[in-house]
Chain A
Amino acid sequence: MEHDRRTYWRSPEALDGPAAEPAHPLHTPERFANRRDFLKAAGFTIAGAAVSSCSRAPEQRAMPFVEQPDDLVPGRSYYQTSVCGGCSAGCGVLVQTRDGRPLKLEGNPGHPLSRGGLCAVGQAATLGLYDAQRLTAPRMDGDTSTWAAVDQAILAEMAAIRADGGAVRVLTGTLVSPSLLDVVRRFVATFSDAVHLQWDPLPGSATLEAHLRTHGVRAQPRLRLERADVIAAFDADFLGTWQSPVQFAAGYRDGRTLDAAPRRFSHHVQVESRLSLTGARADRRIRLAPHAVTTLLHAVASRLGELAGGETVLPPPDMDAGIEAAAADLADRLWGARGRSVVLCGTNDEHAQTVVNYANHLLGAYDGVLDLAAPSRQVQGDDGAVDRLLEEVAQGHVAALIVAGVNPVHQHHRGAELARALSRVPLTISLAPRLNETAAATRFVCPDAHPLEAWGDAEPVAGILSIQQPAIHPLGDTRPAIETFSVWAGEGAAAQDLVRAYWETAVFPRQSDHDEFLGLWTAALRDGVVAVSHEIVPPSPFDSAAVRAPAVEAPPAGHFSLVLYPKVAMLDGSHAYNAWLHELPDPVSKVVWDNYASLSLAAARSLNVATGDMVRIEADGVEAIELPVFVQPGQDDSIVAVALGYGSVLSARFADLGPRWIGSRVERRASDLVGVNAAPFRPAGSGSTSRVVRVAPTGTRQKLASTQDHFRLEETGSVRQAMEDLPPLIHETTLAALDAGGDRGDADHGGHGTGHAEPGLWPDDHAHTGHRWGMVIDLASCTGCSACVIACQVENNTPVVGRDEVSRSREMHWLRLDRYYTGSDDAVEMAVQPMLCQHCGNAPCETVCPVVATVHSSDGLNVQVYNRCVGTRFCENNCPYKVRRFNWFEYAREQPIENLALNPDVTVRSRGVMEKCSFCMHRIQETELEAKRQGVPLADGLVQTACQQSCPSRAIRFGDLNDPDSAVSVAMADPRRYHVLETLNVRPAVGYLTSVRNREEL
C-alpha cells in the first residue's frame, strides 16, 4: 500500500522546512544536560549532602570565667540602680543584668518622681545599647580615627582659639546631670569667650520666661498632680509626651484612687485641638481650634480674677457665648477647689504662660500643686539659642561649635541653614553616638557612650539626685561626654572620678544624714536616689503687671493651622534608630512606621480626601512637604496635625526592613527615611504657637500601616444584629453612677459575680490546687501610654516585622491596646483597653489544637509549647480575644550584636509557630524557685509581669487568685470588675475594672 505522502503541519513556520519548526519545550536540543541528567545530578547531590551531614550536632564550647567574679552567679539576674537616659526627665531605673549583659530597664520603685514606672522610650533603650550602627570610634574629617589623634587635633585648635580669644559655643539639650553641667562650665571657663547654650528640640522655655516675669525666677515649678483635685490642661499632653509623663502619670494616678480611704478622684478637664492621650483620659474634653484654646485660657483666668475680686489684671477677651459659658463653668470649678486646683498649658507662648501663672497664683496652686521652691530641671532650654547662634556664625564670630545631645540640623526649623553655617565655623564637633544629620555636617564626631555604659548622674528636680551607673563595659570605642569635656578642659579625668568628685564636693555638703562621703555614695548607689537640700532662690511676690493677654489669630478661610506634636514613641526623633519605637502603634491613631497629616472627618471631607491620600502642606518661606492623610476623629476641623521627629537619617536603615521570601520584596518608597521631617514648619520665635498652612491633595496615595482595625473583637453584620443585647466590649461609668449604684454602674450589663455559675461546654477539669495566676487591669488608671507594650516586647523577644507586614496584620506584639471611640465627631471620646491572652479557664484555643501544643497548666496559665506547635493556626482562629500571633517568617536578626538584647529566659520562636502572652511565666518560675530555695513562702506581689512592672500609673495587678488576700483577688472582687466577652463563659483569668470618669453623665 502506498504511504500517505502528505505533510502535516501545525504552524506556518513548519512549511519553511523542518529546521524552522518550533521545538517542543520539553524537547530542546541537548546542550549539556537534559531533564533526566538534571534529576540524576540533583538526586546524587542531595544523597551526598544528606550522608555527609549525618553527624552529631556541632560541638559546643562551654567557656568558664578565668577569675570567678565575687557575687556573680551564672544564669542569675542582678539589678542595679541607674538613671534612664532616654530624655531629660531623669526617671530612676533598675537595670537587669545577666551574665554581664544589661537586658532590661525597669522603673525604680524607690524613686520619688517616676515611682517604679518607665515609659516606652525608656524601655526601648537597651536596643540602643546593642545597636550595630552606633559609632564605635571617633571620626575626623569624614574618616574613622582614634581618640588620640582626634584629641590631639582638637586640643591644638582649641589652644589656638584660647590664644587669640575666639568664640566657642557649646550647644546641648537640657543637661539634667549636674556633674556634666559642672564639667561643661569648667570647660567653658577655659576660654575667654565661650558660652554654653541649652536648647530643647521640644520647646518649653515660655514657662521659664513667664516665671521670670511673674515670679522673678527663671524656673519651671515641680508639678505635683497628686495634690490636685481639679486639673485644667490646655494643650498639655502631660500623660503622653509633655516634659515628664511618667512622673505626671504617677502623680495623676495618686490623685485618682478609688480604693484608698478617703477616696480621692480629681476632676480633669482637657482643652485641646488634636486628640491627645491626655485628652482621651480626661473627664471632660473641650475640642477647640488652637487660637480658641488660648482664648478660653484667657477667659478662665479673667473669670478667676473676677472671682478673686480686687483690681482687674486681665480683662476678658472677645469671645463667643460657647467659650464664655465654658470659661465660667471651668473657672467656677477651679475656684471651688482653690488650693487644690491647677491650670496647665503646653502652649509655648510667653504671654499665654503669664496668664497660666496668673490663674495658678489666684488658685493658690503655688502653695501645693506647683512647687517653685524646689523647681523641676527637666526643661531648661532656651528656644532662641540656635537662632542667636546662627546670627553669630553669620557674623563670622564663632571659632568653635560643639554640639552634644541634640540634633539641631534635623530638629530645628532652621536646620538646613545651620548645616550650611557649620561649614563656616573652623572647628565643629558633634558628640552624637550615631552619624545623625548634625554629626554628618561637623568635622569631628566624638561619640558619646550609651547611658548603660557610663557613669553619670541626674537631678531632675532640685534636691532629688540619682547616680547613673554603668552596667557593661563600653561595646565600642566611645567616650562619655563628661570625659570628653574634661579632656578638652585640660583635666582628663575618668567619668567615675568626675561624678564622684562632684558628689563629694557639691552634693555631700548638702545633706546631714551621712557623716562620711562613702555613706552617701553607697546609699545613692543602693537606693538609686538621695534627697538633699538645695539652694532656694526665693521667688519674688507675684507681679501682676507682667501678665499679658496672649494674641490670638484665627487662620484665614481656606487655610489650616498646622499643629506639630511629639508622638509617644518618637518624641523629638532622637530615637529614630529604634525599630521597637517605630513599630509601637501610636496609642491614638494606631499608625506605625510613619508620620502623617491628621485631619478631622469634616476637614478631610472638605478636601475630599481619605486616609492614605497624599496631601501637600505649604507655607510661605518653607519647602512644602507631602504626607499621607490620616483621618482622626475628635480633632478640630481647622487644624492639620503632624508628628515631629520623623524623616531622620537615622531611620534610613529601615528601608528594607521586613522578611524576604520568594517573589516578594519590601515595598520601596521614594525616600528611604521613615516619615517626613516637619521641623522646618516650626513657628519661629516663641510668640506664635501654630503656623498657618495650605493643604492640598496631590492625587496620589501612600499606604499607611495601621493596626486600628486588626484583631477586632466586635461582631459584625448579621451576627451583630442577632447579638444586639450583648454588653459592650469596654465598660465605662461615671463617678456619680458609681456613688449611686455602688457597682460598675453599667445598666446594660446583666449578671455580676464570677460567671462560674453558668453551665459551660467544657468539663471542670482544672483543679488549680496550688497557685492560680490572674491579672486585673484598672481602666480607671490606665492612660494608654503604651509602656507595657514595649516592656512586653523587650521581655519576650518579640520580633519587629516592618511596615509591609504590619499592613498585612502580622504585627507580633503580645500585648496590644484596643482603642475604642464613642460619640459623634464633635464630641468624640476615646477609651483604651489593654488586650493580652486572657488565660481562659475554658480556653477555646486549647480544644482545637490537633497536636496539643496549647494546654492549661496546673497554675492557671494557658501555655503555648513552641516546640510542639505545627502552625495550623486553628487556635488563632478560635481565640475570641484575637491575642495569638503567628510567626510567618524567621524574622531577621542579622546583626549578631543586636541579638545580645534577647532575653535568655524566653525561647526565640521560629517560623511557623504560634505565640502569645505567657503571663511572663519565666518570671513566675524564677520567683517561685528562689522562694523555694530560700525556704520562704511566695509573698503576694513578688511575681511581677513585665507589663505590670513598667506601668507608670500602676494599673495592672497580678498575683495568685487562690490567695483570697492577694491584691489581685481583692481587685477581682471589686464591683467594678468585668470580663471582656463574659457571655462566652470562657472564664478568663484577666479581669478589668470599669473605667471611671469624674462627671455626672456618661
Chain B
Amino acid sequence: MSAELSYMGVDLTRPRVAFFELSSCEGCQLQLLNKEASLLDFFNLLQVVQFREAMSEKDDTYDVAFVEGSVTRADEEERLKIIRKRAKILIAFGSCACFGGVNQLKNRFADQDWVKREVYGDFAIDTQPVRPLADIVEVDVNIYGCPVKKEEVERIVTDLVVGKTILYPKYPVCMDCKANENICLFDLGEPCLGPVTRAGCDAWCPNNRMGCWGCRGPAEAANVEQLKNIMAEHGFSSETLLDRLECFGGFSAFVDGLRQPQQDTGKQGSGI
C-alpha cells in the first residue's frame, strides 16, 4: 500500500472499510475479488479491516460498511444496527440489501408458516419476512444489481474516495441496450423489464439475449403502467410481468396495484 492518497493536489483519506453479509449468497462480495487486472489499484484505495471472504483479521473501527444481503432474522437486525452505529457511510451492497432481493420472494406467500414447514420441515429456525436494509437503518449509498457490477463498484469507490457525489443512471436499461445495438428482446418474443429498470449494468442480460428481470430496481421515470400494456400486446400474461417485477423486490411499490387480490393460500404463489 502506497503512502497518502491525493488527487489534483487535494489530500484524500483512505477509508477504513468493512464488508458484511446478512442473508445472501455472498456473490456480490465475490464480485469484489474479480477483475484481477485492477484489483491492486482497487484495494489500494481502501483500508480493508474486515472481509470474511478475503482475510482473517478483524477490526471493528471502520468508516465505510458494505452490507450485503437482506434482514431475515432478529440477530441480523441487531447486527445491522451495530454496524450502522459504527460506520460513517453505510452502503447497501447488491439487490438483497437494496430491495430484499430474491430472498423477499418468500414474502409473497400469505401463509408464512407453510413456507417454513415446506423448506425447513421440523427444524426450528428463526425466519421473519425479508426486509431491505433501509427498512431498519438509514442507508447512505445503494449499489444495485444481482450481482453488483464490478465496474460500477470501482467507480463508486473512486468517487467516494475522491469526494464526488455518487450518481447513478436515472434512465432505464433500454438506453444501455440500444448503445450496444442489441436486437430488442420483444422482437425476439422474450419479455423484458429493460424499459423500466435502472440502467448502469451495461444491459448485461439483454446483451446475452436474456430479458431483464429488474434486479437494479426501477428507473426514475419508470412507466410500469405502459409496460403492462406492452407485455399484454406481445402476448405475455400479467403473471409473467409480475414474476419479473417481484423477483428482486425493487418494484414492490408498483406490484401492489397489479396483483389480483384473490390470493388465498400460500401455495398459489407462482414462478418459484
Task: Tell whether A and B belong to one assembly.
Answer: no
B residues whose Cβ falls under 8 Å from a Cβ of A: none
